[in-house]
Structure 1
Amino acid sequence: MPFHPQEAYQCGPAALATALASVGIRRSPDQLRDEVYIPARQGSLQPEMLAAVRRAGAIPYRLAPEPQALLKELAAGHPVVVLQNLRFDWAPQWHYAVAVGYDLPAGQVILRSGVEKRLVMDLGAFDRSWAKAGRWAFVALPPEQLPAAANETDYVAAAVALERVVPEAAEKAYGTALKTWPGNLLARIGIGNAAYRRGDLAAAEAAFRQAVDEHPASGDAWNNLAQTLHERGNQPAAREAAERAVAIGGPRLPIYRQTFKTVSGG
C-alpha cells in the first residue's frame, strides 16, 4: 500500500491519494487538494471525496455502517477510507484515514493515518472514533471489480452516479453488476444507453430488447427501445414499443409521449 503523509488539515487529499494509488490511479495530495479541500472548513466534505473518485474513473462504494462490512473489504485486500471523530461529539475533530488491515486475535486495526504509515489502533477505540462519525467509509475500486460487501441496489446506484461523470467507466461497472445480478433492470438499461451513446445501435437494441423481455412493465426500457428502433429504420416496431411505454405511463409519461410522437412522424 502506498502512503502519503498529510499536511495540516489535508487528511482528505492524503487519504484519497492513498486509496486511488492502491488501484493504480496516481494522484498526489497536491493534485487532489483543489478537488476536495474546502479552506473555510479546513477539511474535505464527504461528497467531494466521492466525486473526486468518480472523476478519476473509479467507482466509490459506500459501505454499510457496520464493522463487518469494513472487515470484509479488508479481508478482500481493498483499502477502506474511513472518517473518524477523534475528540467529542460536542467538539469534533474530523479525520480521514485509510484502513489497510486488521488482526482480530490481537483486537487491532491497521491504518495509514496522518503522518503515520502504520498506525496500529485498538479495534474498540477505533470503532468508537468511527461510530462518532456515523461509521462513514468507502472503497475506491476499478469499475471491473466488485466490492466484497456490495449489495445490488447500492452498487448499481453507484454506477448510475458514475455514469454522469465518466460514462465509459460506468459501462464497465454495469457489466460488472450484470455478472453478479444478471436480471438488474437499471444495469441492463445502462448498458443499452452506453451502446446508444457511442453509436452502436445494434448493441443498444439488443440490450433494450433483453430489458423489456425481462421487465415488460418498464416504461423506460420500452421507450429507449422505441427510440433505437426508430433510428434503425424499423418504424412499425418502434411505434409498437412507444405505444407500450405510453400505456405503462408513470412519472416520465411526457417523455414517452414525445417519443411516440417522434417515431410516429407527428
Structure 2
Amino acid sequence: MRGAWAAACLVALLAALTGCAVQTPRLLAAPPADLPPRVELTATPFFPQEDYQCGPAALATALSAAGIPTRPDALVDRVFLPGRQGSLQIEMLVGARGRGAVATRIPGTLEALMRETNDGNPVVVLQNLGLSWAPSWHYAVVIGYDLDAAHFVLRSGPLERQQLAFSTFEHTWDRSGRWAFVVTPPGALPTTASEAEVTRALVAFEHNAPPAAAARAYRSALARWPDNLTLAMGLGNTLYAQGETSGAAAVFRDAAQRHDDAAAYNNLAIVLLEQGRRDEARRAAQRAVSLGGPFQAQAADTLKRVDE
C-alpha cells in the first residue's frame, strides 16, 4: 500500500532473513493429517492493485469469490482513505458488510489459512512488508498452499499467483498482528472462526443487513452453537422484524427456557401478546420481572401492557 511494490518486497525479503518463524517449523514437522498436501483456489478472481489500493483489490477478490461480484473501483469510496494512502482494518470489514457479506476474523495461524482455503474460502490477510519501526502495510488474499514446496499462493498486488514461502509469509504476517478475515454470504460460516468472532461478526452484520439476510446468518451460526444466547436473540429479533411472529416466539421461548434469561422472556411476552395469547404473555412477562437485572424496567412495562 505504501511505497513502491519492488522496494516493499525487497524490505520484506531482508526482514525475513533476520527474523524467526515460529509456526513454520512446527507446521512442516507435523502437518495436519486431515489436509491434502496442496490446495489452490484457481477460480478466485484477480484484480491487479492500483497505486496504494491493495485494500479495494483484496476485498473485491474476496467478495467476488464469495459470489458477490464486485470491482475494486466500487469499493474505493468505502475502504480507501486518501490521507493514509491505504485502508484501515475496520474499513475493510465494514466495506464487506456494505456489499451484503459477512466479514469474520479467523485465528492467526498458518493452519487456519490452510483449512479455510481447503474448504473453499480465500482469506484476506494484512502484511507488513517493511519493519516494525518502518511499516509498509499491504493486503493480499491467500488462495492456497503447497506443503511439499512449503509456500502459500496469494493474489497480491500486481501478482496473480504469488508463491510465498511459509517462513517469509509468517514474518510479514506476524508484523501485522496476524490479522486475517474471511468473507462469506449470509448463511455460510468460516471453518476456523471461533464462536466469539462469529457472534461479533453477525451482530455487526445485522446493523445494516436486511432482516431476512441477518436471520439466515444467525440461523446458520445457531445451528453450530445452539447454546449461544446472543445468536438466539439475534435470530428471534430478525424473524420478528420480518413479521414471522410464530418463528420468533419459538426462538425466544427456547432461549428463555435454555438460559432463564429476562430479555428472552420479555421478548417472548411481547410476541405472545401480539398473537393474542395474553395468559402465556403474562407468565413470560412475570418471569422476566422476577429475574430482575438491567431489563427489569422493560419487563415491568411489558407486564403492564399485558394487564391493560
Q: TM-score range by the shorter chain?
A: over 0.9
1:170-226 CA distances to partner (integer Å, 9 max, x unpaired)?
2111111122223332222222212211112122112111222222x2111101001
Aligned to 2:205: 162
1:14-56 CA distances to partner (integer Å, 9 max, x unpaired)?
0000000001111111100000011111111111110111121
Tell me which of 84, 94, 104 is aligned to 1:51: 94
- Does 1:113 pair with 2:160? no
- Does 1:207 pair with 2:227? no
Residue 75 of structure 2 aligns to a residue whose secondary structure is helix
Aligned to 2:41: none
Tell me which of 105, 109, 120 is aligned to 1:66: 109
Aligned to 1:229: 272
> How far apart are the structure 1 equivalents of 2:125 and 2:247?
40
Residue 145 of structure 2 aligns to a residue whose secondary structure is strand
Residue 256 of structure 1 aligns to a residue whose secondary structure is helix
> How far apart are the structure 2 equivalents of 1:37 and 1:153?
28
Q: Displacement of 1:262 after TM fit?
A: 2.5
Residue 105 of structure 1 aligns to a residue whose secondary structure is coil
Aligned to 1:127: 170
Q: Displacement of 1:66 after TM fit?
A: 2.0
Q: Answer yes or no: is the 8 Å Cα contact 1:97–1:113 preserved in 2.
A: yes
> How far apart are the structure 2 equivalents of 1:209 and 1:219?
11
Aligned to 2:234: 190
Gaps of 5+ in 2: 1-43
TM value normalised by structure 1: 0.95
Q: Answer yes or no: is the 8 Å Cα contact 1:36–1:52 preserved in 2.
A: yes
Aligned to 2:222: 178
Aligned to 2:263: 220
Aligned to 1:32: 75
Task: Tell me the C-alpha RMSD between the 2 structures.
Answer: 1.4
Q: Answer yes or no: is the 8 Å Cα contact 1:58–1:169 preserved in 2.
A: no
Could you tell me which amino acid in structure 1 is paired with residue 155 of structure 2? R
Tell me which of 243, 249, 252 is aligned to 2:292: 249
> How far apart are the structure 2 equivalents of 1:199 and 1:137?
36
> How far apart are the structure 2 equivalents of 1:40 and 1:260?
53
Could you tell me which amino acid in structure 1 is paired with residue 285 of structure 2? A
Tell me which of 107, 111, 121 is aligned to 1:78: 121
> How far apart are the structure 1 equivalents of 2:166 and 2:85?
28
Q: Answer yes or no: is the 8 Å Cα contact 1:162–1:169 preserved in 2.
A: no
> How far apart are the structure 1 equivalents of 2:169 and 2:195?
29
Gaps of 5+ in 1: none
Could you tell me which amino acid in structure 2 is paired with residue 203 of structure 1? G
Q: Displacement of 1:11 after TM fit?
A: 0.3
Could you tell me which amino acid in structure 1 is paired with residue 133 of structure 2? W
Residue 281 of structure 2 aligns to a residue whose secondary structure is helix
Residue 40 of structure 1 aligns to a residue whose secondary structure is coil
Tell me which of 134, 157, 161 is aligned to 1:91: 134
Aligned to 2:5: none
Residue 246 of structure 1 aligns to a residue whose secondary structure is helix
TM value normalised by structure 2: 0.82
Of residues 172-181 and 108-117 in structure 1, the stretch that sits farther from structure 2 once superposed is 172-181
> How far apart are the structure 1 equivalents of 2:269 and 2:196?
26
The percent identity for this pair of structures is 49
Alignment length, in residue pairs? 264
